[in-house]
Amino acid sequence: MPSKELKKIISRWQDWLTLQRNCSEHTIQSYLSDLYIFLEYLSPKEEVGIPTLKQLDIKAFRNFFSIRAKKGISKTSIAREESAVRNFFKWLNENKILNNTSIFQISKPKLDKALPRFIDVDMTFDIIDEAQKGCKEPWIGYRDMAIITLLYGCGLRISEALSLNIKDIDNEEFIKIRGKGNKDRYVPLLPIVLERINKYINHCPYKFKQDDALFLGVRGERLSPRIIQRKIQKIRMNLNLSENVTPHTLRHSFATHLLAQGTDLRSIQELLGHSSLSSTQIYTEVELNKIKEEYEKAFPN
């Protein structure tokens, strides 16, 4: 485990990730968890300090990632751990806390490119309809239906949807979304989405002001993403859906369905808030795979 000195340094790195890199709380906690796994490997019983980190060579780093692989840790998880440790050592070097570049001599692990998972249009509407069922109070059902309609109808991340305030829907035609890296984008607000949001607002027992959170929990606080994740889990069970169906699947479905309807990639890129077109181009492979599957059904070998 880290020494007192190293704990203070890790805390400074954490502040830097928050203030300078604008990393989400989820990303920061993942980085910290992965770094502590590495420190635990270095010395399971004794404290690890800066002197230990200074002396690490390329073999030490390679041994760690090799051991993780032999334990059956997935390539994706190992790549994430490598990224966390690499980021920490880069920060240590740039801040002249130590000088050790051994980890940068290791090639980044190559990952198999995973295609976004999506669901068809009919199933999407089944999920939205199911959102209103099984709630203790009607307004909660209207809230959950509004959120899920928003995720699919506007292609939002769950964090983006739940960070919205009342004033963000004043326009009634577009909503301003604060995405990753604090980058703003404007997304068209479809009539059905606005209708569902207004129905929730009208039935919500709390009175709203312009700066208030749009989506509230039962105690009137800003809604936690975990509540919607659990809701999707319940819907999955009710509809007998795959465990791969998550709130983010609705965003993938939004993009895939737009592409299937002929929307150009640049427009989809802007709607999703991707910083580069290459992030959006993966949806073309999803669509090509879908076409290939349909072809093979029609013309079996």
Class of domain 4-105: mainly alpha
With a cut of 70, list the residues of the chain below it in pLDDT.
Answer: 109-116, 286-301
Q: Which CATH number fits domain 121-298: 3.30.360.10, 3.40.50.300, 1.10.10.410, 1.10.443.10?
A: 1.10.443.10
**Helical H segments across 108-172, by residue range:** 121-130, 138-154, 158-162
Q: Is 251 a catalytic residue?
A: yes
pLDDT at 113: 58
230-243 pLDDT, tens digit each: 999 999 999 988 88
Q: Which of 80, 143, 231, 251 is catalytic?
A: 251
Q: Which of 157, 196, 252, 257 is catalytic?
A: 157
pLDDT at 147: 96
pLDDT at 169: 86
Q: Is 248 a catalytic residue?
A: yes
pLDDT at 115: 57
Q: Is 252 a catalytic residue?
A: no
pLDDT at 256: 85
pLDDT at 14: 93
pLDDT at 264: 84
Q: Is 274 a catalytic residue?
A: yes
> How many Cβ atoms from other residues are within 10 Å of residue 289's Cβ?
11
pLDDT at 86: 93
Residue 287 phi, psi dihedral angles, 5° rounding:
-65, -40
Q: Which of 31, 142, 200, 283 is catalytic?
A: 283
Q: Can you give the residue ranges of every domain in the chain?
A: 4-105, 121-298
165-196 pLDDT, tens digit each: 999 888 778 888 887 777 788 888 899 999 99
Q: Which of 180, 199, 222, 236 is catalytic?
A: 180
Please give the C-alpha separations between residue 96 and each of 89, 210, 263, in angstroms, as whole numbers.
Answer: 10, 46, 49
